[in-house]
Amino acid sequence: QEINGELYVKGAKKDAIKQIKVDAPSGLNVTFDGASTVTLNWSGPTEVDAYAASYKATDGSSGSLSISGTTASLGGIKPGVTYSFSVVAKKGTGTSPAIGASFTAPGGTPDPKKAEEEAAKKKAEEEAKKKADEEVQKKANEDKQKQEEAQKKAAEEQRKQQEQEQQQQQQQQQQEQQRKQQEEAQKKAAEEEAARKKAEEEAARKKAEEEAARKKAEEEQHKQQEQQQNTGGDTPHADGNTVTTES
């Protein structure tokens, strides 16, 4: 028996037959004519032997659609009923994965179960969105708090550093002032010491001069006494306008 262009023995196991991989159709689009017919259009892979389209409806109906190329249609659409469509591509023994789409016909009485499911789905989506928004806001608040704490810490570190620099500057100024005061005190003490020494030297010089003058006067007096003794006479003296000499 020839299958897919190859010969197989009749009665052989199915897994012995080569399976062909087929890509799924794409771009399934559903249109409604506004009355009672739905048309499906899609794009299919190359080298496809055929397509198969089926549906299931919320009213319990199901079946196949009539196909022409890459188009299928279904008539007898009922208002308010949701139809779920599925399309596959076939080539030889291979069948592609299905592509699906849903369509709810306008009008009619909505399915209570369907409405409940939609409401539950919407509520779940809203709760999920709310939770996601809360998580995003929570993270934003945490990031903001961390940033504020980091800024506060940086400001505190800067303040401490400025205080430390001010203290160091004050210490340096105090040390410089103490150094200048010490230099002034040393300079004043040196000047006072120099003045004291100068005064002592001046006093010593004056005393030496006085001592020398005194010694000189004594020597002069001593010489006069020696001269008087050597001459054996008395020292002349004045008495009025007459000068007398005693013998």
> pLDDT, tens digit, for every residue of 162-209?
999 999 999 999 999 999 999 999 999 999 999 999 999 999 999 999
> pLDDT, tens digit, for every residue of 121-164?
888 989 998 999 999 999 999 999 999 999 999 999 999 999 99
Instruction: Give, in degrees to the nearest 5, the angle at Cα 240 between 234 and 242.
Output: 65
Q: Cα 106 from chain centroid?
A: 56
Tell me: pLDDT of 18 over 90: no
HEC readout, 234-246: CCCEEECCEEECC
Q: Which two tokens stand for residue 17?
A: 């037959």
Residue of 45, 54, 48, 49 whose CA lies nearest to 23: 45
Q: Does residue 65 contact residue 83 with C-beta atoms inside 8 Å?
A: no
Q: Is 32 exposed, middle or buried (0-12, 13-18, 19+ CB in 10 A)?
A: middle
> pLDDT, tens digit, for every residue of 73-132?
999 999 989 999 999 999 888 888 999 999 998 876 655 776 688 788 888 989 998 999
Q: Higher confidence at residue 240 or residue 62?
A: 62
CA–CA separation, 76 and 83 (whole Å): 12
Q: Enter the pTM of the model.
A: 0.39
